[in-house]
Structure 1
Amino acid sequence: MPEPSDYGLRPNSLPHADFSPFGGYPASSFPLYIEDKEPDDYLHNPDPVLDEEYDKNRFLYDLKTMDSRAMAGLISFVVLFVAAMALFVLFPVLTFSGILNTHEPESYEVLTHYHYPLLSAIRTSLVDPDTPAEARVRDSQRGEPWELVFSDEFNAEGRTFYEGDDQFFTAPDLHYDATKDLEWYDPDAVTTAGGTLNLRMDAFKNHNLFYRSGMVQSWNKFCFTEGIIEISARLPHYGNISGLWPGLWTMGNLGRPGYLASTEGVWPYTYDLCDAGITPNQSDPDGISYLPGQRLNSCTCKGEAHPNPGVGRGAPEVDALEGEVSNGNGRVSQSLQVAPYDIWYMPDYDFIQIHNNSVTTMNTYTGGPFQQAVSATTTLNTTWYERGNYTHNFQRYGFEYLNDDESGYLTWFVGLDPTMTIRSTALHPNGNVGWRKLPKEPMSIIMNLGISNNWAYIDWPALIFPATMRVDYVRVYQPPGQTKVGCDPDDYPTYNYIQEHLNIYQNVNLTTFSAGGYKFPKNKLTGC
């Protein structure tokens, strides 16, 4: 053990002593004097002056000592804050002030400068107030003055015909599959402008079809029974180019045009007997008929669905105009389409009259498995069409009929000139069927512009689109004191039956009556 005096002799021996807690480290590694400095001394030796200075400028000091990760986090927070302020403060302010509304307005056509007050276009009468006074009465083919009971002059600009838009007409949104049309009927293609109803066909794709066109129908809105219907129209395109299929026609209200489930078994029946005529195919093995039988016949069993049991019901069709071009000449086909059929679709021509053989002839087409057509064609003037180097005029098309079983008649006309007349006696019993009747059903009005390979040869290279059929007016006349308008008359009701089978009248995708969830009524002929 060293002597105490030895430490005095070795003044430098103390710094080299091992004072480490665990030993094995030189004493010089642990400073024992205040003059010795280490990097973390500031953590253990607070300086009030420096600490106060640091607290005052903490943000700047933190920025100086910030690493890249911390800097990225700070930038992200700043961006998020600015974005939130722009979204919830700046954008609403700019939108409200209108500064952001810098887009150019779309081009449009001013149809009228008249501002209609609310509900001002609602008609309170079936007769359009715009109908001229001289058109309120029209002489019938029998020389009797008949009264105007309905008219639509289409003078109100910008009318639309979507479901529920119009009092009298609806433009359906559908493909007319019954005749395999090449166009889609779209309400957008129907409007009023310049005092006419315009049905426009365009050559652009719509619902995977390459053409879009328009149809209007008064189904379940306006119907008439007996009288004169007169429609003034200018036909589309040229009068010497084949392809388009303009139509002005009527059909019984129990069938809705274009809704195949509603027309199955009722179109074009006009029959009131209980025999082979009500059965599928007319019980004829020769293939004269492919119809499923008269659904609403006169001998349905008790308790079966029927508008008025004991009366044969259907949806016959009368065509005021089906436009065609044959051998370079425009022609109108005017027809009565009925079921059940005569043998070889041939009525008794002894009771059919052609009024002017120089312009009108019996149609060579008399029918097929789905309808019998008693039809005549009349040559038209090329000035009654939309296109051509001449004045474009409107012409009147229509028909007049009374449906009495013995003295009834149906006469078509072009202009004021009658073209063909069918007497009710022309549809007498023939083969295994009995009397067919001139339509007793309430008839709705249909106007359309179609195109189909099932109608006529289509001269594709010569067709020009758009093509527009314009209708100036629709007028209906009836004998004085014999007004029969409405789609639900007492003797031929339709309303309750339609309401009870609403599915087939509203779902255009249903193609058969059974697809709507219904069955054909049983009848006494085949067994109740």
Structure 2
Amino acid sequence: MAPLSPWLLSLTALSLVTATEFATKSGLRPWVDPDTPEDRQAYVSSRGDTWELVMSDEFNEPKRSFRPGDDHMWTSLDKPDGVNAALEYYSHNMTSTQCDGDTCYFYIKAMEDETVLRVWNDYQDVPGYKTVYFYYRAAMVQSWNKFCFQGGMMEVRAQLPGAVSPESGNPDVKSGKTTRATTKLYYPTWPGIWMMGNLGRAIFSASTNRMWPFSYDECNDAVFKSSNQRISACDKNPGSGLNPNQGRGAPEIDILEGGGHEVSSSIQVGPGMPGDFRPFYPTDDAAGGCIYEYNCKTKGANGPDVPTKYYMSKRGHKSWYQGMRYSANNFCQPNAKYKQDYETVAASVKAGITENSCDVTTCAGSKDANADISPIDGTSDYWGINSNGTCFPLMNAYTGAILCSPGNTDELCGTPEVAANDKMKPFAYQMDAISSNWPVHVGAYMEYHSYQLEWVTGSDGYVRWMLEGHPLFEIPASAVENPPQDSGKTNPKKIMIEEPMYIIFNVALSSTWGAKPPNPEEPCRGDGSDADVNKLCDAFPMYLKIDYIRLYQDTSPGSKMTTTCDPPTHPTRQWIKDHIDEYQDAQNLAVDVRGKGFCRTSDDCTVGNATLSRISTGSCVKNRCECNGGSWTGPRCTTTLGSVQATDTDDAFKSMFEGSYGPPWSGALIVAGLCLVFSILSVYMAQKREAAQDAEFKKHQNMQPKSAMSIGSASDVGIKGPKDNYSTNFV
């Protein structure tokens, strides 16, 4: 192909350098809600760095729809929840936005509503359809494949669902908002505010099999069988736009999950630690549930490395994750029996734990014998020490699960109860939940609180959970990347989570979790004979309410933080396109969404670079962006559908016409540029001509294409897109 002339290169140089996203004319970032207050545009991290607002949704417009195609950021589902013995069906009409006085918010409604479905089950004796009863209806809303991010501080101001009205009879309410929530009956739902890697779509199991929750980038079959990981570091040619020899997956970060008297904050990663690095199983106890009360009789079953010498004598190495950091929820009332002092605990830990379980004098308040007990952020407070006797996070006794394909005979899976499924590639692996459960106060169900999460990728990174700016729990990267080892180094070394993660809001109900509705195998009231249960059931519907969500990131040069679902370091777009049937069904299609970001003027919805100053790519209509033509997309119509990732001039030209999942935008831009150049030349010549020639020129100008100076899409110049266009789902 002949090289482009220098003047044409000058027209396209900006697009080739900056790839596919341009700044808006107003300067508003693509994912930022213009209603976010001016004094909330920046944040100082726990390490003292200033991060800028890069995404927000203030939920100030009532009656929003999140059905596929209706919103720039969020998509609701119409689908039964098929995990964790769920009791609810997710529906579009269980979520929207509304305003109560001056407070506008997003909500998910959970209500009684029986649904009977015939669903396919691969894990029954003979795979086939099964009748399933769902006694509740709620919602799940995702930003999957629309908005993802790598690193930053996410803040969600939320009120959790619970029965806290005077009519509910909840005894916790009478003691005030700072009272610990203890009466589980009145908190029957399982709300979630969480993230998952974009390569797996929550509750679409075909997309998550062998994908969730991997954060692993090694090729060593002696340590972990690579066939269990769908995208393995052993694969030199994974295809679908993926990077060679890069292990990928869909790990999980839960800002908060659960209800009742505790909230869980966790990361979920794989592969999990082998059995020799996990707590001992309570073989001498009649009920395995003793691990959740820390009162097992089996030696070593109440926590890793407790007792210290016993574990060391049996294994010769440490167990589980080291150096986890826990701090108090000081919004709870203090209780003297939980109060600790640093000197006593530090001396006990140094000497070694001798009892079979932790108490306030022997271990960190988290009951984690390996917890970090150093100063918090250079202050006089210590990680792991409940110096005020308030609500304190506990190391979660749930440490993960074994995931097996149907009929798998691997030793991890035990004796199979069903036949193998020839249509499913076999897998058998352990995943790990690195988690703390922190006791919650009643106020979390009665008013809004700000739940925050800092996430920094890399070996020096961490994940920190906070409540109103106060730390609750932190996982340093070293805990994930440098686990204890035996002489054979058989414990897989995972990496700190670095996948592009999308956001999920949901409210679930289950028959197996600690927080569950009464009579979980039947409608809420059962036979109607229990007065307390009847009052609780009368409290439905219950609501998860979110006032706003905001994300801050390091935007300085060299920062690895991103706000895309398809970063070059961790591409996802082509993989999803090539496996689209695993990510959608007839009721939940991956719909192309263009524009729809909230705006105040049309300057919020069009590109603002001087080179493109006469190109209108979108406009503000009823406070939401509408994109011009067919090639401009993104929430503010400032992103192109073409894929421009060229390394030289010739490749740059080719890339403008190839590799696009929508109409090639650069052809339109070139036409616009040519028209602009010819117009400028014409104007110049017109100034030199006689009056008669000037009149003739004006007549000629009136005959030019109507949009010659404002071409907004390839369709404006006759370029048509493919019949099935999922393009913006993969940008």
- CA positional deviation for 1:505: 0.7
C-alpha separation between the residues in 2 aligned to 1:134 and 1:453?
44
C-alpha separation between the residues in 2 aligned to 1:500 and 1:259?
16
C-alpha separation between the residues in 2 aligned to 1:432 and 1:306?
32
C-alpha separation between the residues in 2 aligned to 1:142 and 1:476?
17
- Aligned twin of 1:203: 112
In the superposition, relative to structure 1, how do residues 277 and 338 fare at CA in structure 2: closer, same or farther (>3 Å)? farther
C-alpha separation between the residues in 1 aligned to 2:70 and 2:224?
40
C-alpha separation between the residues in 1 aligned to 2:30 and 2:563?
12
Is 1:189 matched with 2:94? yes
Which of 270, 273, 296 pairs up with 1:339?
Answer: 270
Report SS of the residue matched to 2:115: coil
- Aligned twin of 1:471: 546
Contact 2:194-2:503 at 8 Å conserved across structures: yes
Matched AA of 2:115: N
- Aligned twin of 1:393: 447
Which of 445, 463, 472 pairs up with 1:410?
Answer: 463
- CA positional deviation for 1:412: 1.0
Contact 1:161-1:171 at 8 Å conserved across structures: yes
In the superposition, relative to structure 1, how do residues 207 and 160 fare at CA in structure 2: closer, same or farther (>3 Å)? farther
Contact 2:152-2:554 at 8 Å conserved across structures: yes
What does 1:227-306 align with in structure 2 at a 5 Å threshold? 227-238=152-163, 239=181, 240=183, 241-276=186-221, 293-302=228-237
Is 1:163 matched with 2:74? no
- Aligned twin of 2:327: 355
C-alpha separation between the residues in 2 aligned to 1:479 and 1:167?
24
Contact 1:410-1:422 at 8 Å conserved across structures: yes
Q: Deviation string for 1:128-178 (max 9, x for gaps)?
A: 111111211112111222111100011111101101110000001111212
Report SS of the residue matched to 2:51: strand
Q: Name the count of aligned residue pairs.
A: 367
In the superposition, relative to structure 1, how do residues 341 and 308 fare at CA in structure 2: closer, same or farther (>3 Å)? same
- Aligned twin of 1:507: 585
- Aligned twin of 1:38: none
Matched AA of 2:441: N
C-alpha separation between the residues in 2 aligned to 1:188 and 1:199?
9
C-alpha separation between the residues in 1 aligned to 2:490 and 2:513?
30
Q: Deviation string for 1:279-335 (max 9, x for gaps)?
A: 56x8xxxxxxxxx7110011115365562221110000000001222xxxx221000
C-alpha separation between the residues in 2 aligned to 1:277 and 1:478?
39
Report SS of the residue matched to 2:228: coil
- Aligned twin of 2:562: 484
C-alpha separation between the residues in 2 aligned to 1:145 and 1:303?
38
Q: Deviation string for 1:423-453 (max 9, x for gaps)?
A: 1111225452432111111000000000012
- Aligned twin of 2:151: 226
Is 1:178 matched with 2:83? yes
- CA positional deviation for 1:180: 2.8
Matched AA of 1:434: P
- CA positional deviation for 1:230: 1.0
- CA positional deviation for 1:493: 0.6
What does 1:75-154 align with in structure 2 at a 5 Å threshold? 125-154=30-59
- CA positional deviation for 1:410: 1.2
Is 1:423 matched with 2:476? yes
- Aligned twin of 1:50: none
What does 1:24-39 align with in structure 2 at a 5 Å threshold? none
- CA positional deviation for 1:478: 0.7
Q: Deviation string for 1:442-500 (max 9, x for gaps)?
A: 00000000001232252412343111110111111111323510100111110011001
Contact 1:153-1:474 at 8 Å conserved across structures: yes
RMSD: 2.3
C-alpha separation between the residues in 2 aligned to 1:276 and 1:131?
49
C-alpha separation between the residues in 2 aligned to 1:303 and 1:179?
32
Contact 2:142-2:504 at 8 Å conserved across structures: yes
Report SS of the residue matched to 1:324: coil
Matched AA of 2:492: G
- CA positional deviation for 1:363: 1.2
- CA positional deviation for 1:338: 0.5
In the superposition, relative to structure 1, how do residues 134 and 261 fare at CA in structure 2: closer, same or farther (>3 Å)? same
C-alpha separation between the residues in 1 aligned to 2:238 and 2:256?
40
Matched AA of 1:145: T
- Aligned twin of 1:4: none
Q: TM-score, structure 1 length as denominator?
A: 0.66
Matched AA of 2:189: L
Unaligned runs of 5+ in 1: 1-122, 283-291, 386-391, 511-528
Contact 1:400-1:411 at 8 Å conserved across structures: yes
Matched AA of 1:494: T
In the superposition, relative to structure 1, how do residues 294 and 188 fare at CA in structure 2: closer, same or farther (>3 Å)? same
In the superposition, relative to structure 1, how do residues 164 and 312 fare at CA in structure 2: closer, same or farther (>3 Å)? same
- Aligned twin of 2:139: 214
- CA positional deviation for 1:409: 1.1
- CA positional deviation for 1:507: 2.8
Which of 404, 414, 432 pairs up with 1:372?
Answer: 432
- CA positional deviation for 1:377: 1.3
- Aligned twin of 2:492: 434
C-alpha separation between the residues in 2 aligned to 1:165 and 1:278?
46
Contact 1:276-1:432 at 8 Å conserved across structures: no
- CA positional deviation for 1:348: 4.9
- Aligned twin of 1:517: none
C-alpha separation between the residues in 1 aligned to 2:498 and 2:462?
12
In the superposition, relative to structure 1, how do residues 303 and 422 fare at CA in structure 2: closer, same or farther (>3 Å)? closer
- CA positional deviation for 1:205: 2.2
- CA positional deviation for 1:207: 4.9
Matched AA of 1:376: S
Contact 1:214-1:449 at 8 Å conserved across structures: yes
Matched AA of 2:48: G
Is 1:493 matched with 2:571? yes
C-alpha separation between the residues in 1 aligned to 2:112 and 2:463?
37
Contact 2:213-2:268 at 8 Å conserved across structures: yes
C-alpha separation between the residues in 2 aligned to 1:306 and 1:244?
40
In the superposition, relative to structure 1, how do residues 267 and 274 fare at CA in structure 2: closer, same or farther (>3 Å)? same
In the superposition, relative to structure 1, how do residues 214 and 303 fare at CA in structure 2: closer, same or farther (>3 Å)? closer
- CA positional deviation for 1:402: 1.0
C-alpha separation between the residues in 2 aligned to 1:134 and 1:331?
32
Unaligned runs of 5+ in 2: 1-27, 118-133, 164-180, 279-318, 329-364, 366-385, 387-391, 404-430, 519-532, 589-731
C-alpha separation between the residues in 1 aligned to 2:457 and 2:113?
43
Report SS of the residue matched to 1:351: coil
Contact 2:231-2:238 at 8 Å conserved across structures: no
C-alpha separation between the residues in 2 aligned to 1:275 and 1:334?
31
Report SS of the residue matched to 2:83: helix
C-alpha separation between the residues in 1 aligned to 2:223 and 2:69?
36
Q: Deviation string for 1:326-385 (max 9, x for gaps)?
A: xxxx22100010101123464754321112344222112111214311001112220221
